[in-house]
């Protein structure tokens, strides 16, 4: 059913005149494709901001942009299947239809692959299979560097879970959690490897952070100053699609409901899922530059856990929500293919 929904999305997109090649070449998809074609030393240093697994896999498939589209869509379906395993079919459909996942899980972006590995990490965590969990977190990080935030979050979850399992004794973390946390060496070594590679390539071990600040004017601020930047900043204030207040309103339409849902989930005792989701949602309120105008996409790591946390509330009554999500997502997808920066 989930695969059929994805095929239906592509069919409707093409039926309404969508350009399939644009989904594999517009915006960040073009940068991924450039890396897949020519490697990181292609003369475009922007590429070093992007993690390697997605473009390398695209290169291995040797199908150019079509290969990148295939990868993104397969991992979208795989991520939705994991959500189904952890919740139910209604949760999986709601997740699949989420507007920005429908867009960036259909276009040649790495977001769906990162989401798959993050959900897989939680799948292993829930079953106390920590080696698989750490390998999955590592693969998420090597797919998108934004998943680096998940490493300390999973450390917190494992330490608390093992301490609770031993009755909350003070010595439990030292005696039981530390052996379970040894697997954190896996993502740690991956981070060290990436830093060493970047040092050799561009002379900066933290280039994936510093280059964003240099080229995309990104930095951390408080939510108030982020709102001021969106309303008066050089990007949203230039001639083009969307007034500054529309950018801000669009962001809040995603951020506010998701944050509220996670706060309610915390009160319901879904603290493990909230620990993994809420920080990603809050982070989207604290950036300026290009990440600020990409908040509806960047917030995706905060979305996958919601259908799991609210599993018992989901049923046929959410059919209209899935329909609305799908229509909005398809409209955005057509706009994305047309080069509309408002949905990039």
Work out the average pLDDT over 298-321.
88
pLDDT at 293 > cutoff 70: yes
- Of 114, 96, 111, whose CA–CA distance to 9 is shortest? 96
pLDDT in tens, 86-101: 999 999 999 998 989 9
pLDDT band at 252 (very low <50, low <70, confident <90, very high): very high
Highest mean pLDDT among 80-84, 96-100, 174-178: 80-84
At 220 the three-state DSSP class reads strand
pLDDT at site 5: 63
Q: Are 302 and 115 in contact (CB under 8 A)?
A: no
Q: What confidence tens digit (pLDDT) does each residue in 107-131 have?
A: 899 999 999 999 999 999 999 999 9
pLDDT score of 25:
84
Which candidate, 94, 98, 78, places its Cα nearest to that of 139? 78
In the beta sheet, which residues pair with residue 287?
A: 220
pTM metric for this prediction: 0.92
| Under 8 Å between Cβ of 93 and 311 | no
The stretch 134-154 carries a mean pLDDT of 97
Q: Could you report the per-residue pLDDT of 257-288, keeping only the tens digit for each?
A: 999 999 999 999 999 999 999 999 999 999 99
Question: pLDDT tens digits for 24-40?
Answer: 888 898 999 999 999 98
Provide the pairing of β-strand 219-220 with 287-288: antiparallel
Q: Which residue has the tokens 């917030």?
A: 299
Please say whether the beta carbons of 325 and 102 come within 8 A: yes
- pLDDT, one tens digit per residue, over 195-240 is 999 999 889 999 988 888 888 888 899 999 999 999 987 776 655 5
By percentage, how much of the chain surpasses pLDDT 90?
A: 55
Q: What confidence score (pLDDT) does residue 170 get?
A: 45
């Amino acid at each position: 059913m989930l695969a059929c929904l994805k095929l239906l999305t592509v069919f409707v997109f093409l039926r309404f005149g969508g350009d399939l090649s644009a989904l594999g070449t517009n915006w960040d998809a073009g940068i991924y494709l450039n890396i897949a074609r020519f490697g990181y030393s292609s003369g475009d240093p922007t590429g070093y901001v992007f993690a390697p697994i997605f473009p390398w896999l695209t290169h291995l498939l040797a199908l150019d942009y079509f290969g990148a589209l295939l990868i993104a869509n397969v991992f979208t379906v795989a991520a939705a299947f994991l959500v189904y395993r952890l919740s139910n079919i209604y949760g999986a459909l709601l997740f699949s239809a989420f507007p920005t996942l429908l867009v960036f899980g259909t276009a040649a972006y790495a977001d769906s692959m990162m989401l798959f590995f993050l959900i897989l990490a939680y799948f292993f965590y829930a079953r106390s299979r920590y080696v698989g969990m750490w390998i999955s977190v590592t693969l998420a990080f090597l797919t998108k560097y934004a998943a680096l935030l998940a490493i300390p979050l999973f450390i917190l979850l494992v330490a608390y879970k093992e301490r609770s399992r031993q009755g909350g004794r003070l010595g439990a973390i030292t005696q039981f959690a530390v052996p379970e946390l040894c697997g954190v060496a896996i993502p740690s070594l991956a981070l060290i490897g990436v830093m060493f590679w970047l040092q050799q390539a561009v002379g900066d071990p933290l280039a994936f952070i510093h280059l964003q600040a240099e080229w995309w004017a990104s930095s951390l601020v408080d939510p108030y100053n982020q709102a001021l930047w969106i309303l008066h900043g050089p990007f949203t204030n230039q001639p083009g699609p969307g007034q500054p207040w529309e950018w801000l309103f669009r962001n809040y339409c995603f951020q506010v409901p998701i944050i509220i849902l996670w706060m309610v989930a915390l009160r319901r005792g879904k603290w493990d899922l909230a620990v993994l989701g809420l920080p990603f949602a809050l982070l989207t309120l604290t950036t300026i530059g290009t990440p600020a105008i990409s908040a509806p996409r960047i917030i995706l790591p905060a979305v996958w856990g919601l259908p799991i946390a609210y599993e018992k509330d989901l049923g046929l009554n959410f059919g209209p929500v899935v329909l609305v999500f799908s229509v909005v997502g398809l409209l955005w997808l057509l706009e994305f293919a047309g080069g509309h920066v408002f949905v990039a």
